[in-house]
């Protein structure tokens, strides 16, 4: 058995305050036995303007946010999936929303750049989101070997694109981590259904770490961080507020479920990403 935790925060524009809160929660999760800790999307900054994250972008391997993550992983001897870190890309006006993985020695061993960007108008509230104005999309599906099984990386809006997760299955995924910042309206409507569906249809664990609460920029995020097992059962959840969810992973359960209920072997249509 391995124990995984997913943190929930309500980050603001003050990076130091956000990192202090993330550090407090990482420490608490580690004390509770977590060996893998997943941070939410935008854990280090939820700016007043979407351009704020561009202004604090870091070069991969350098900068205070990445130093913090390396130090936390090494200090607490935990693996960390670092929500999204704003990293420099090809366009100086935009960043890469990078989900970074650190091992328990503080070494960065993987990176996934958010692929699907949230360019959406929400009629009910009048909210408008245009992530492509400040974020360059990634293009690579990332699944890696870890002590927690084959780990697949996805971020927030990716959750709505099941073909991405089918690609992870083709790469042997057993645990999907999902740092997120779902809006309050879309979260109430779809969050639980989508998180549980990705676990059920891919017969794997999902650890979803969310932003949850009111933010200084006026935004409200849904929260409801959760860990779901391969049968779609919610093992732990946190509807609102700062804290974490935690659960034990049983990789034998993944493989036993796949053998006894071989839905993945019954697929008739292959799934590939467009070139």
Summarised one tens digit per residue, pLDDT across range 130-173 is 999 999 999 999 999 999 999 999 999 999 999 999 999 999 99
Answer whether residue 30 is part of any domain.
Answer: yes
Is 75 marked active-site? no
| pLDDT reading at 270 higher than 80 | no
Q: Residue 40: its pLDDT value, please?
A: 98
| Of the candidate ranges 15-19, 49-53, 84-88, 178-182, the one whose mean pLDDT is the lowest | 49-53
Domain span at residue 172 reads 2-266
Residue 272's pLDDT band (cuts 50, 70, 90): low
Residue with tokens 């961080």: 225
Answer whether residue 271 is part of any domain.
Answer: no
Is 255 marked active-site? no
CATH number of the domain bearing residue 230: 3.60.110.10
Answer whether residue 259 is part of any domain.
Answer: yes
Answer whether residue 98 is part of any domain.
Answer: yes
Which residues, in sequence order, are bridge partners of residue 195? none
Answer whether residue 272 is part of any domain.
Answer: no
DSSP-derived secondary structure for 169-236: HHTT-SEEEEEE--BHHHIIIIIHHHHHHHHHHHTSEEEEEEBEEE-TTS-EEE--EEEE-TTS-EEE
Answer whether residue 152 is part of any domain.
Answer: yes
Neighbours of 146 (CB within 10 A): 19
Tell me how many domains the chain contains.
1
Residue from 2, 21, 35, 41 carrying the catalytic annotation: 41
Residue from 53, 156, 204, 253 carrying the catalytic annotation: 156
Q: Residue 275: its pLDDT value, please?
A: 53
| pLDDT reading at 101 higher than 80 | yes
Is 71 marked active-site? no
pLDDT digits (tens, 9 = 90+) for 169-207: 999 999 999 999 999 999 999 999 999 999 999 999 999
Answer whether residue 275 is part of any domain.
Answer: no
Residue from 2, 114, 131, 136 carrying the catalytic annotation: 114
């Amino acid at each position: 058995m391995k124990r995984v935790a997913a943190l929930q925060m309500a980050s603001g524009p003050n990076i130091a305050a956000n990192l202090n809160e993330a550090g407090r929660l990482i420490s608490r999760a580690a004390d509770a036995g977590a060996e893998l800790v997943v941070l939410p999307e935008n854990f280090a900054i939820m700016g007043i303007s979407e351009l704020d994250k561009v202004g604090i972008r870091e070069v991969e391997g350098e900068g205070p946010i990445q130093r913090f993550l390396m130090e936390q992983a090494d200090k607490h001897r935990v693996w960390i999936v670092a929500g999204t870190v704003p990293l420099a890309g090809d366009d100086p006006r935009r960043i890469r929303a990078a989900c970074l993985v650190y091992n328990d020695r503080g070494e960065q061993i993987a990176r996934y750049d958010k692929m699907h960007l949230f360019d959406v108008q929400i009629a009910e509230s009048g909210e408008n989101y245009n992530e492509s104005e400040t974020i360059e999309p990634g293009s690579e599906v990332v699944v890696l070997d870890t002590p927690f099984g084959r780990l697949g990386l996805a971020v927030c809006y990716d959750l709505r694109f099941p073909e991405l997760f089918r690609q992870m299955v083709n790469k042997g995924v057993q645990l999907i981590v999902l740092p997120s910042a779902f809006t309050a309206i879309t979260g109430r409507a779809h969050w639980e259904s989508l998180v549980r569906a990705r676990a059920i249809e891919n017969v794997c664990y999902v650890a979803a770490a969310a932003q949850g609460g009111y933010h200084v920029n006026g935004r409200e995020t849904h929260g409801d961080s959760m860990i779901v097992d391969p049968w779609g059962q919610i093992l732990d959840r946190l509807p609102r507020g700062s804290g974490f969810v935690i659960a034990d992973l049983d990789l034998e359960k993944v493989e036993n479920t796949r053998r006894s209920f071989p839905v993945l072997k019954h697929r008739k249509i292959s799934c590939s990403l467009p070139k």
